[in-house]
Chain A
Amino acid sequence: MEIKSVQVRDITVRYLEGGSGPALVFLHGTGGVTAADPFLNALAVKHHVYAPMIPGYGDSDEAPEIRDMLDFTLHTWDVVEALGLKDPILVGHSMGGMIAAEMAAIAPNDVSRLALIAPAGLWDDEHPVVDMFASLPFEMPQLLFHDAQAGAAILTAGRNVEDPGFLQAYLVANARQLGMAGRILFPIPERGLSQRLCRIKAKTMIVWGESDRLIPPTYAQAFKTGIASAQLVSIPEAGHMVIVEKTAAVVEAVSTLG
Chain B
Amino acid sequence: MKFTWFNLMPWPYLPDDFREKNRSVWVDIDQKLFDPAKSHEVYNTYMDLLEYADTLGFDGVGVNEHHQNGYGIMPSPNIIAAGLARRTKDAAIVVLGNSIALYNPPVRVAEEFAMLDCISGGRLVAGFPVGTSMDTNYCYGQIPSLTREKYQEAHDLIIKAWTTREPFAFNGRYNKLRHVNIWPRPIQQPYPPIHIPGGGSVETYDFCIDNTYSYSYLSFSGYLRAQALMSGYWKRIEERGVDKSPYRAGFAQTILVADTDEQAEQLYAEHVSYFYNRCLHVYPGFADAPGYRTIKTIQSGALSQYAPPRGGYATLTWKALIEGGHVIAGSPETVRQRMEDLIKGLNVGNIFCLMHVGNMPADKCMYSTKLFAEKVMPKLRDMFPDWADDNRFWTTPLEKRVTSGRLPKEAPTSADLAKTYALGA
Against B, the Cβ 8 Å flags (1 = close, 0 = not) of A154-183 are: 000000000000001001101111111011
> Which segment, of A7-15, A21-29, A132-140, A245-253, faces chain B?
A132-140
Instruction: Select one of A136, A168, A179, A187 contacting B290, CB under 8 A.
Output: A179
> Which segment, of B59-67, B140-148, B180-188, faces chain A?
B140-148
Once A180-B145, A182-B145 are accepted as A-B contacts, the answer to whether A187 and B291 lie under 8 Å apart by CB is no
CB of A67 within 8 Å of the partner chain: yes
- A187→B143 CA distance, assembly (Å): 7
Q: Is A182 touching B299 in the complex (CB atoms < 8 A)?
A: no
**Contacts of B233-284 to chain A: CB distance below 8 A:** 283-284
Q: Is B299 touching A168 in the complex (CB atoms < 8 A)?
A: yes
Q: Is B138 touching A175 in the complex (CB atoms < 8 A)?
A: no
CB of A123 within 8 Å of the partner chain: no
- A135→B293 CA distance, assembly (Å): 17
- A176→B144 CA distance, assembly (Å): 11
Residues from chain A with Cβ under 8 Å of B295 in the complex: 172, 175-176
Residues from chain A with Cβ under 8 Å of B385 in the complex: none
Once A174-B290, A175-B290 are accepted as A-B contacts, the answer to whether A67 and B146 lie under 8 Å apart by CB is yes
Q: Is A171 touching B137 in the complex (CB atoms < 8 A)?
A: no
CB of A77 within 8 Å of the partner chain: no
CB of A186 within 8 Å of the partner chain: yes
- A135→B295 CA distance, assembly (Å): 20
Shortest Cβ gap from B141 to chain A (Å)? 5
Beta-carbon nearest neighbor of B299 in chain A = A172
Instruction: Select one of B138, B146, B298 contacting A187, CB under 8 A.
Output: B138
Q: Chain A, interface size: which category? A: 20 to 34
Shortest Cβ gap from B40 to chain A (Å)? 32
Shortest Cβ gap from B198 to chain A (Å)? 18
CB of B289 within 8 Å of the partner chain: yes
- A67→B137 CA distance, assembly (Å): 16
- A135→B283 CA distance, assembly (Å): 10
- A64→B173 CA distance, assembly (Å): 13
Instruction: Select one of B137, B145, B283, B299 contacting A183, CB under 8 A.
Output: B145
Shortest Cβ gap from A32 to chain B (Å)? 13
CB of B286 within 8 Å of the partner chain: yes
- A133→B284 CA distance, assembly (Å): 11
Against A, the Cβ 8 Å flags (1 = close, 0 = not) of B290-320 are: 1111110011010000000000000000000
Shortest Cβ gap from B143 to chain A (Å)? 5
Q: Chain B, interface size: which category? A: 20 to 34
- A135→B284 CA distance, assembly (Å): 9
Instruction: Select one of B144, B283, B290 contacting A177, CB under 8 A.
Output: B290
- A172→B145 CA distance, assembly (Å): 13
Once A168-B301, A182-B143 are accepted as A-B contacts, the answer to whether A187 and B284 lie under 8 Å apart by CB is no
Beta-carbon nearest neighbor of B286 in chain A = A134
Residues from chain B with Cβ under 8 Å of A182 in the complex: 143-145, 289-291
- A186→B145 CA distance, assembly (Å): 10
Q: Is A180 touching B291 in the complex (CB atoms < 8 A)?
A: yes
Instruction: Select one of A134, A136, A179, A188 contacting B291, CB under 8 A.
Output: A179
CB of B285 within 8 Å of the partner chain: yes
Residues from chain B with Cβ under 8 Å of A174 in the complex: 290
Residues from chain A with Cβ under 8 Å of B27 in the complex: 134
- A187→B160 CA distance, assembly (Å): 31
Shortest Cβ gap from A175 to chain B (Å)? 5
Once A67-B146, A183-B143 are accepted as A-B contacts, the answer to whether A175 and B286 lie under 8 Å apart by CB is no
Q: Is B144 touching A186 in the complex (CB atoms < 8 A)?
A: yes
Which one of B145, B283, B299 has the highest number of Cβ atoms from chain A below 10 Å of its Cβ? Answer: B145
- A136→B293 CA distance, assembly (Å): 17
Instruction: Select one of B285, B293, B298 contacting A134, CB under 8 A.
Output: B285
Residues from chain A with Cβ under 8 Å of B294 in the complex: 175
Please, could you name 22 A-B residue pairs with CB atoms under 8 Å apart, sorted by A? A67-B146, A133-B289, A134-B283, A134-B286, A135-B285, A172-B298, A172-B299, A175-B145, A175-B295, A175-B298, A176-B295, A178-B291, A179-B144, A179-B290, A182-B143, A182-B144, A182-B289, A183-B146, A186-B141, A186-B289, A187-B141, A188-B141
A→B interface (CB under 8 Å) = 64, 67, 133-136, 168, 171-172, 174-180, 182-183, 186-188
In addition to A134-B286, A134-B289, 20 A-B residue pairs with Cβ atoms within 8 Å of each other are A64-B149, A133-B290, A134-B283, A134-B285, A171-B298, A172-B299, A174-B290, A175-B291, A175-B293, A178-B291, A179-B144, A179-B290, A180-B145, A182-B143, A182-B145, A183-B143, A186-B137, A186-B141, A186-B289, A188-B141
The 3 closest A-B pairs by CB, nearest first: A179-B291, A178-B290, A179-B145
